[in-house]
Amino acid sequence: MVFPYDQPTITFFSLFFYAMFALFYFSLWLGNHKHVAGLGYWTVNLVLQVLGKSLAVSALIPNAQVATILGYLLISCGAIFFYFGLAAFTGTAINKKFYYVLFFVVASIIIWSVTSVTNAYGRSLVYGLFVLLISLRYLSIIWKNLRINPWFFRPFLLLFVLYSILTLFNIVRISMDGIFLLRGEQLRTFDSSLLRISQFLTLALLSGVNFCVLMLTNNKLLSDLAEESQQKDTIMQRLKISAEHDGLTGLLNRNTTDSYLSSVLDQMEVSFQCMVNMVDIDNFKAINDTYGHETGDLVLVNLAAIFSRIIRKQDTVGRWGGDEFLFILQDVSIEEAPELIRRLHDGVSTFDWSSNLHIPNLKIGISSGYTFCSGKESKKDILRTIDVHLYTAKQNGRNQSVGP
């Protein structure tokens, strides 16, 4: 079987594509080496591949054996660096010392095969075994990290397929070299139709591998951008929550509650009625003075939980300030109001304050002042009215509600 392309042609295209990839990778590394782990190793691999192939086929070194040895060594070293790149990219822990020792062992065998083995089939077999070993390591690390990140799945899957094909071709080549050696056939020069086919297919497949690595690099950068955007959204959401909510109770703060009340009043329809209720803790100053402000804070936190549990889905409660809570209860009739107010008071009075705050005989009571609004009243008038009603409840003995 005669392959139409000779080795110089295949080598030229190989050098051209590898040089283009090396330049592209280097430009990527300059701007993204801090963001893409392994990119530096992959760039070094391509540079070593270009140097190795150049030395092996050029007249830069007059001694052909030395040029061949250096070419093999640089290419082999590049293959190991590619593995280091995969490990760094996936965050896989590897024993680099093992691969340094492997390189020196392979280097020794390469030097021996080039200088002592006259049959090129033997040299091809030796180098093929090294390529098979490192290819299997590639497949192992890719397979283990195939689903490490959804952004990397497709490039890794394609990379796995390409290296599987490369490994299969290499096994076929090793088998053929072994058969030729067993038959006693001689290959004086490192050139044959089978070798050319293998080199051409390897070039095509490795070009695909480098495209996959570019896809991984691109997807890593996109993944980081998406993650950074998500983190910013999370931070903005937290800042929004922090700006709108009371830091102690987690309820809406006064500014947010006030704005929400304005919004409700502006959007209120004629047939729609809401109730605004101001709740104040009875004798809260005495609680702080007797048990301390930490206990007072716990009272506020527990009250916020009770109120949040009792109110309906369409209702809103916020901390108005100090020990005051403002309720905005929508779609409430005059007949329903006493029952809703009673539920708030019962929720507070039936709560086991002594057990939860570990203070014997502790009792907490609240007073309420409420009014109704139909959209005709101003917010200022509504707040003044409920404030008067709350004051009346306090004056009448506390632990009660006063409304219109």
Q: Residue for token digits 């009215």?
A: 385
Give the three-state DSSP class for 187. Answer: coil
Residue 307 is predicted with a pLDDT of 93
- In 3D space, the residue among 367, 346, 386 whose CA is nearest the CA of residue 281 turns out to be 367
Q: What is the per-residue DSSP string for 335-397?
A: TTHHHHHHHHHHHHHTS-HHHHHT-TT----EEEEEEEE-SSS-HHHHHHHHHHHHHHHHHTT
Percent of the chain whose predicted confidence (pLDDT) is above 90 = 37
Q: Which amino acid is at 308?
A: S
Cα separation, 54 vs 44, in Å, equals 15
Most distant CA atoms of the chain, gap in Å: 116
Contact 146, 89 (CB under 8 A): no
Amino acid, single-letter form, for residue 342: R
Environment class of 214 (CB within 10 Å of its CB; exposed 0-12, middle 13-18, buried 19+) = middle
* pTM > 0.75: no
Rg of the chain (C-alpha set): 39
Contact criterion met (CB below 8 Å) for 29 and 40 = yes
Query: What pLDDT shows up at residue 239?
Result: 80
Rounded percentage of the chain residues whose pLDDT exceeds 70: 94
Q: pLDDT truncated to tens, each residue of the chain (404 aa)? A: 455 566 667 777 778 888 888 888 888 888 888 888 899 999 999 999 888 888 866 767 778 788 888 888 998 999 999 999 999 999 999 999 999 999 999 899 888 888 888 777 788 788 888 889 999 999 999 999 999 989 999 999 999 999 999 899 889 888 988 888 888 887 655 556 666 776 777 778 888 888 888 899 889 888 888 888 888 888 888 887 778 888 899 999 999 999 998 888 887 765 567 889 999 999 999 999 999 999 999 999 999 999 999 998 889 999 998 899 999 998 888 888 889 899 999 999 999 999 999 899 889 999 999 998 877 788 889 999 999 999 999 998 888 888 87
Going edge to edge, which strands form the sheet with 274-281?
Answer: 316-321, 324-330, 274-281, 366-373, 401-402
Structural domains of the chain ordered from first start: 7-236 (1.20.1070), 254-402 (3.30.70.270)
pLDDT for the residue numbered 191: 56
